[in-house]
Amino acid sequence: MTKYSYICAANQRYLPYLNAFLNSLEFVKNTQDVHIISWNLPSSYLKKLSQLSYSVIVHEVSGEPRFKELGEADVLMRYRYELASSLKEYQSVVVFDADSIVVRNLDLWLEIAANSKVILGVSLEQKRWYGEPEEHHKVNGEYPIPRTWNEKDMERDS
């Protein structure tokens, strides 16, 4: 077990994205544990995860009775946070979408999160457009994170 951990969830439809995410962690020389919430991922794929240089822990949830009424999408989206809150053995945990790519080692950020005793989140809030001047993104009137997204990618309410 490592000090920090990552969590993501995937089904067969997200397998190419999950594969890219896991390969990106390999590329940046990740050493932290990765927890994958699986909804019927192929066993042939899961067996290959042992070839990665870091530990992958698979949580198969498709057969759990408590999830029968929720459906696949709800479980994969929401169970990540339940799992994160239950992993008390780690100093900090990051919840990723399976279609994420990691471009540099995140150990420093995991350490900052562990020492800050707060929950850190992304600044895009699922790329939802809230109109100008987006006051809810500001701290003391300033943007704490530079605006780096493409405005054309933002969803706008009509």
**CATH number of the CATH domain containing 87:** 3.90.550.10
Q: Is the preceding omega at residue 133 within 30 degrees of 0, hence cis?
A: yes
Q: What is the mean pLDDT of the chain?
A: 82
36 CB burial (10 A radius; 0-12, 13-18, 19+): buried
Q: What is the DSSP letter of 108?
A: H
Residue 156 has what pLDDT? Answer: 54
Q: What is this structure's pTM?
A: 0.74
Among positive and negative, which fits the CA dihedral 14, 81, 122, 34?
A: negative
Note whether 86 and 15 are same-domain residues: yes
For residue 149, is pLDDT > 60?
A: no
Using DSSP, state whether 94 is helix, strand or coil: strand
Which residue would you say has higher pLDDT here, 37 or 68? 37
pLDDT in tens, 16-50: 999 999 999 999 999 999 999 999 999 999 999 99
Question: Which residue range forms the structural domain that includes residue 75?
Answer: 4-116
Which residue would you say has higher pLDDT here, 94 or 118? 94
Which amino acid appears at position 47 of this protein?
A: K
pLDDT in tens, 107-125: 998 998 889 876 665 544 4
Note whether 34 and 112 are same-domain residues: yes
Note whether 14 and 92 are same-domain residues: yes
Task: Quote the number of domains for the chain.
Answer: 2
Residue 81 has what pLDDT? Answer: 84
Neighbouring-strand partners of residue 5: 33, 93
Residue 113 has what pLDDT? Answer: 86
